[in-house]
């Protein structure tokens, strides 16, 4: 008998709770169950919005996560959110831990959750399907559109534009006309980046060639340093990288050659080697997405902006060591990219690559045409090695 | 061809040196009968403290209006990283020798602790420095390859033998000294006795506790110096998050690969280092990089199989290693 009374009582409480949140009560129900996340309508204000982040590392990596966290801080400042409204999950591996982290953020009452590493995407898709009232934004992924989930979104920036410009600094500086590239994994994100870098260098130095070696890790300073050293031994005198640490920069410095960085200004780590770095400004998207929730607007399924919108940029040029005229050449190309007059992947351009199934694929862009990189989807799709680039394995 | 062989050898020596230092520390520890799996943790502790030692010394000198010298900076890094590694090992020794805690579990805990210690202080000093914790050109030069007049300029030989940073020579000297100490001195003999059969050693009047404490703590200090190599040479005095990750475990594998002998350790470290970086210099067509990267580990397993088949006590782990000694349980 007592049990039955309890059941009735509980259902009444639950109904009340649902009614209250449905009417847009400003105090969200306390956490502890599926009813916890506040509904996605007008109830979310600047005072009660909660924003969650899942990162693969933490800002002390001074690389990718650091750079994304700079974006978080920008958003926080722009919207005037308090520290308690932002919940970061750091050092989350690309495995089942991601699933747990996402659910913890939902339980903590987050209205919007950003997952920032490529390997998080499957977990985001799964959790997003279960919590339709929470918005999920995944960086560098490609499955939001195909998932059909209205609350899952992909975002990235046209980093290849900044890499193209950084390549100009390398192309003007090289004396041996051999560039080296320390690359993490043979994914489109990485291949698109180094191809753009090479095309930038080639635009100012037609004789330049590039050698690419993979580390098979996003962050392994020892291997990055060893790979950089091996490239230098092969005659490369400007080293660039798609990997997190400063090891390629310091290895270049120790061997008297130069380096072009990624994610962070590396000049203070290697003042005699680091020329410039290509960076993403995540703050623009993060601010826009959170603002959309406050305004009750839709977040785009795929978001990708580039140089023209300042979503990618270059760290200051190391004028003490850069070749004369570098800044001018970069500025000129930047203007042309911004106006749409210059396309990075412009024809005539041919390349050969391997798709996810291991099949060889080719691309052939005619003169006057261009490859619409990151235009249809936010994730990079250029997956082809072009003549002049050699992958060493 | 000769060029490739030369660069490969040089790169192998550089890749093998931090592993050799870690392995030497672990050999000394295991010879006393302690299986300290916390090499990774102690290397992390040495890596961050060595870097912070040099960095703080430079900052203090600059603040006082003096110019820091590379020699002092390197000495401070060496000393501080030794102390940090020794401190980590002291925790281990206290838990296992005095409190008789399980050696494997304690070692694993030390790994977790040291990793957190390194990354925590790395981040802390990074925030304080407002960017990278990076040493100045003076210290970088102190850890750069040495140049000995005449000798370094010899063709091929000069490059192969006289073109490394000082830590390579330090590790070599340490290996030779340790081999001499273990095989040619009475104290070394006592230490080996403690590791092989602590009860017999105890009966012979050797203090098992003192030997185990000292060997473990000094061994830990050497591991700490190995970690300092990662932060001062591999990443050239810039703190990189998680810079040791995994290499402490490779050092433990190298101990097996070297069959607990410091002298064989030198050769094996070069081979081990060579296997790690070979793919960057010699390509085998059709062999995926992932398979190539497995070779050092496959080789370790092979060595384990061979040594266990041969049943040679000279080349095996000291018999008492892994077990705590308790006099009352004899």
Task: Assign A376 a pLDDT band (cuts: 50, 70, 90).
Answer: confident
B289 contacts chain A (CB < 8 A): yes
Residue A134 domain flag: yes
Cα B199 from Cα B174, distance rounded (Å): 29
> Distance, in angstroms, between B142 CA and closest chain A CA?
11
A93 contacts chain B (CB < 8 A): no
Across the interface, whether the CB atoms of B276 and A226 are under 8 A apart is answered: yes
Cα A41 from Cα A132, distance rounded (Å): 12
What is the maximum span of chain A, computed from C-alpha positions, in angstroms? 89
Residues A367 and A349 placed together within one structural domain of the fold? yes
Residues A370 and A248 placed together within one structural domain of the fold? yes
Nearest to B191 by CA among B219, B218, B213, B211: B211
Cα B317 from Cα A70, distance rounded (Å): 50
What tens digit of pLDDT does each residue of B160-212 get? 899 899 999 999 999 999 999 999 999 999 999 999 999 999 999 999 999 99
Across the interface, whether the CB atoms of A60 and B293 are under 8 A apart is answered: no
Contact between B227 and B42 (Cβ < 8 Å): yes
> Distance, in angstroms, between B114 CA and closest chain A CA?
16
Q: Which of A61, A230, A245 sits opposite B235 (nearest CB)?
A: A245
Find the closest chain A residue to B288 by CA distance: A393
> Distance, in angstroms, between B289 CA and closest chain A CA?
6
Residues A187 and A53 placed together within one structural domain of the fold? no
Domains belonging to chain B, first-starting first, are: 2-324 (1.10.3470)
Nearest to B276 by CA among B5, B88, B14, B26: B14
What tens digit of pLDDT does each residue of A295-320 get? 999 999 999 999 999 999 999 999 99
Cα B54 from Cα A11, distance rounded (Å): 65
A140-154 average pLDDT score: 93
Residues of B in contact with A62 (CB under 8 A): 126, 131-132, 240-241
Residues A60 and A128 placed together within one structural domain of the fold? yes
Residues A236 and A114 placed together within one structural domain of the fold? no
Residue A219 domain flag: yes
Residues A289 and A333 placed together within one structural domain of the fold? no
Q: Is the model's pLDDT at A8 over the cut of 80?
A: no
Give the number of other CB atoms < 10 A from CB of residue B290. Answer: 9
The pLDDT score that the predictor gives to residue B267 is 95
Return the minimum-mean-pLDDT range out of A17-21, A218-222, B32-36.
Answer: A17-21
The whole domain housing A183 covers 159-279+310-392
Q: What is the complex's ipTM, to 2 decimals?
A: 0.90
- Cα A158 from chain centroid (whole Å): 9
Residues of B in contact with A221 (CB under 8 A): 230, 234-235, 240, 243
| CATH number of the structural domain spanning residue A58 | 3.40.50.2300
Chain A interface, best mutation among B21, B118, B126, B234, by max A CB count within 10 A:
B234
What tens digit of pLDDT does each residue of A24-52 get? 434 444 444 443 344 444 568 888 999 99
Distances in whole angstroms, Cα of residue B199 to Cα of each of A393, B3, B325: 54, 54, 8
Residues A322 and A201 placed together within one structural domain of the fold? yes
Residues A199 and A139 placed together within one structural domain of the fold? no
Contact between A244 and A63 (Cβ < 8 Å): yes
Q: Number of structural domains, chain A? A: 2
Contact between A120 and A98 (Cβ < 8 Å): yes
Across the interface, whether the CB atoms of B237 and A250 are under 8 A apart is answered: yes
Q: Which of B122, B137, B288 sits opposite A60 (nearest CB)?
A: B122
Across the interface, whether the CB atoms of B234 and A216 are under 8 A apart is answered: no
Residues of A in contact with B288 (CB under 8 A): 393
Residue A10 domain flag: no
Find the closest chain B residue to A266 by CA distance: B132
Which helix or strand (DSSP H or E) is residue A189 part of? helix A188-204
Residues A69 and A141 placed together within one structural domain of the fold? yes
Nearest to A143 by CA among A113, A112, A121: A121
């Amino acid at each position: 008998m007592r049990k039955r009374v309890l059941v009735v009582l509980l259902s009444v409480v639950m109904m009340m709770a649902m009614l209250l949140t449905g009417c847009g009560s400003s105090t969200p129900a306390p956490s502890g169950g599926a009813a916890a996340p506040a509904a996605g309508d007008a109830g979310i204000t600047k005072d009660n919005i909660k924003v969650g982040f899942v990162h693969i590392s933490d800002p002390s990596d001074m690389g990718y996560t650091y750079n994304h966290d700079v974006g978080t801080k920008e958003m926080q400042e722009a919207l005037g959110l308090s520290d308690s409204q932002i919940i970061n999950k750091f050092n989350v591996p690309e495995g089942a831990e991601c699933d747990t982290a996402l659910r913890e953020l939902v339980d903590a009452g987050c209205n919007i959750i950003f997952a920032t590493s490529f390997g998080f995407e499957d977990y985001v898709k799964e959790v997003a399907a279960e919590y339709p009232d929470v918005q999920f934004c995944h960086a560098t992924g490609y499955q939001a559109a195909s998932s059909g989930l209205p609350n899952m979104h992909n975002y990235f920036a046209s980093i290849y534009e900044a890499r193209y410009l950084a390549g100009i600094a390398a192309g003007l500086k090289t004396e041996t006309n051999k560039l080296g590239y320390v690359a993490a994994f043979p994914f489109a994100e990485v291949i698109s980046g180094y191809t753009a870098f090479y095309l930038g260098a080639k635009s100012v130095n037609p004789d330049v060639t590039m050698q690419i070696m993979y580390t098979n890790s996003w962050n392994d300073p020892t291997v990055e340093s060893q790979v950089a050293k091996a490239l230098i031994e092969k005659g490369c005198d400007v080293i660039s990288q798609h990997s997190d640490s400063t090891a390629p920069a310091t290895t270049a410095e120790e061997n008297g050659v130069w380096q072009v960085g990624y994610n962070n200004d590396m000049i203070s780590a290697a003042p005699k080697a680091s020329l410039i770095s290509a960076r993403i400004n995540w703050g623009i998207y993060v601010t826009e997405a959170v603002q959309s929730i406050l305004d009750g607007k839709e977040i785009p399924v795929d978001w990708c902006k580039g140089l023209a919108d300042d979503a990618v940029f270059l760290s200051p040029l190391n004028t003490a060591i850069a070749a004369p005229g570098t800044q001018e050449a970069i500025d000129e190309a930047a203007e042309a990219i911004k106006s749409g007059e210059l396309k990075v992947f412009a024809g005539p351009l041919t390349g050969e690559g391997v798709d996810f199934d291991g099949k060889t694929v080719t691309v052939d862009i005619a003169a006057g045409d261009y490859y619409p990189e990151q235009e249809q989807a936010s994730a990079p799709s250029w997956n082809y090695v072009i003549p002049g680039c050699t992958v060493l394995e | 061809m000769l060029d490739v062989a030369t660069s490969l050898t040089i790169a192998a020596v550089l890749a093998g040196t931090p592993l050799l230092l870690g392995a030497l520390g672990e050999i000394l520890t295991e010879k006393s009968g302690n299986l300290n799996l916390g090499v990774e943790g102690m290397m992390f502790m040495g890596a961050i403290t060595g870097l912070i030692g040099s960095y703080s010394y430079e900052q203090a000198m600059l603040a006082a209006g003096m110019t820091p010298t590379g020699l002092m900076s390197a000495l401070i890094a060496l000393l501080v990283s030794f102390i940090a590694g020794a401190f980590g090992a002291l925790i281990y020794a206290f838990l296992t020798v005095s409190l008789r805690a399980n050696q494997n579990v304690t070692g694993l805990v030390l790994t977790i602790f040291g990793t957190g210690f390194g990354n925590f202080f790395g981040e802390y000093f990074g925030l304080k420095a407002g960017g990278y914790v990076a040493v100045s050109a003076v210290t970088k030069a102190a850890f750069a390859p040495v140049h000995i007049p005449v000798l370094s300029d010899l063709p091929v030989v000069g490059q192969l033998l006289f073109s490394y940073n000082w830590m390579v020579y330090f590790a070599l000297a340490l290996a030779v000294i340790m081999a001499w100490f273990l095989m040619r001195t009475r104290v070394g003999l006592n230490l080996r006795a403690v590791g092989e059969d602590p009860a017999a050693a105890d009966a012979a009047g050797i203090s098992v506790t003192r030997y185990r404490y000292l060997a473990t703590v000094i061994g830990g200090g050497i591991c700490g110096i190995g970690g300092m190599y990662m932060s001062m040479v591999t990443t050239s005095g810039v703190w990189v998050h998680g810079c040791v990750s995994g290499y402490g475990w490779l050092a433990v594998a190298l101990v097996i690969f070297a069959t607990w002998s410091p002298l064989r350790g030198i050769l094996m470290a070069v081979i081990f280092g060579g296997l790690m970086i070979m793919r960057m210099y010699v390509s085998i067509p059709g062999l995926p990089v992932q398979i190539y990267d497995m070779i050092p580990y496959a080789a370790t397993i092979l060595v384990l199989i061979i040594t266990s088949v041969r049943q040679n006590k000279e080349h095996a782990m000291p018999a008492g290693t892994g077990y705590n000694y308790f006099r009352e349980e004899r």
